[in-house]
Amino acid sequence: MDKPDRRIEKTRTAIYQALSDLLQEKKYANITIQEIIDRANVGRTTFYQHFTDKDTLLSSSIENIFEVLSGHLTEQVPPEHESRLIPVAELFTHIQENSRLINGILMSDSGELLFDKFKSYWSIKIEPYLLAHLPKGKQPKVPIDMLTNYVTSTLIELLKCWNKSEDKYTPEQMEQYFFALILPSISSVLGE
């Protein structure tokens, strides 16, 4: 496997950081490509070698968050906890540690794009877990895709609440709140 070119990584990182910094200052819709390239200290041609437009940059930034998140969760989740529905404490810790970029996107008018990606990302992981916990021969009281949507929506709403809250709860507290909210519903729907 070829190693990524360090210059390319450095340039992309500078552009991501420029977008992140600008998102702290103004709405996404008001950010121009010129501001991004000025902040990243790259040329217009260089920007367009990496991204076709501002929206592509935003999508790439979000994808980058998920790549890092996936790697982080793989490293941070102890083997005895791998069977958990979602590693919520680790997720909130990662968000806390990378709050500048994530908060910039969340506070932008494109924050919903990040939440849509979160929803898709976690749905893929949650649905197999729910199916594995459905007792043999039983039908769930609610279709599994609806239960999956409920669980991911609950997680997203907690993230939004946590992000806006003046009282910053710990990642461990958020995990407790999340499971207190969803476990009774999952047990009821699956008939456990």
pLDDT in tens, 4-20: 688 888 999 899 889 88
The rounded radius of gyration (Å) of the Cα atoms in the chain is 19
pTM (predicted TM-score): 0.72
- Overall number of domains in the chain: 1
Query: Structural domain of residue 78, as residue ranges?
Result: 59-190
In a domain, 10, yes or no: no
Could you report the per-residue pLDDT of 57-112, keeping only the tens digit for each? 988 887 877 776 666 565 554 545 445 677 888 888 877 876 666 766 766 666 77
In a domain, 154, yes or no: yes
In a domain, 175, yes or no: yes
The residue type found at 94 is: H
Lowest mean pLDDT among 99-103, 134-138, 146-150: 99-103
* Average confidence score pLDDT of the chain: 82
In a domain, 147, yes or no: yes
What is the distance between the alpha carbons of residues 166 and 159, in angstroms, rounded to a whole number? Answer: 13
* Structural contact between residues 43 and 86, judged by C-beta atoms closer than 8 angstroms: no
C-alpha closest to that of 129 among 168, 182, 177, 171: 182
In a domain, 145, yes or no: yes
Tokens 């996404």 found at:
28
In a domain, 5, yes or no: no
What is the distance between the alpha carbons of residues 142 and 40, in angstroms, rounded to a whole number? Answer: 49
Other Cβ atoms less than 10 A from the Cβ of 109: the count is 11
